[in-house]
Amino acid sequence: MAQAAALAALLGCSTLRPSGRPEVLLVGEASAVAPGDLARCEKLGGVEGVGIGGWGTTRDQQQFWARKEALNLASDRRATHVLVTSERDDPNALTVYGVAYRCGAAAR
């Protein structure tokens, strides 16, 4: 019972933020693509990255590492782009959720 209360308290401190405006991250040397153009690309599935921090770690640092991890996972799938769908903040970590796509000649 105490574990359930602790988990509820921890989850109460986290915030899930949908991406305000669609943001497309580039994997490697990919060319920029507008979010609306992703419909013409091959959808490869979801990716997520976690940026962990502790005392003295800024949100920007956590976001940088979370996005880097998501891009690395997308690269492993030979993706060219990641559409960021949301981010979750809690006191010790930031998680980026997205969808990986393979666009252009790479999709053929």
Every domain of the chain and the residues it spans: 15-107
Mean pLDDT of the chain: 84
Number of H helices, E strands in the chain: 2, 4
- Res. 55: pLDDT tops 70: yes
Strand pairing partners for 97? 48, 86
pLDDT at residue 74 greater than cutoff 90: yes
pTM of the model: 0.78
Architecture of domain 15-107: 2-Layer Sandwich (3.30)
pLDDT band at 105 (very low <50, low <70, confident <90, very high): confident
User: How many Å apart are CA 82 and CA 74, to the nearest integer?
Assistant: 7
- What pLDDT does residue 8 have? 39
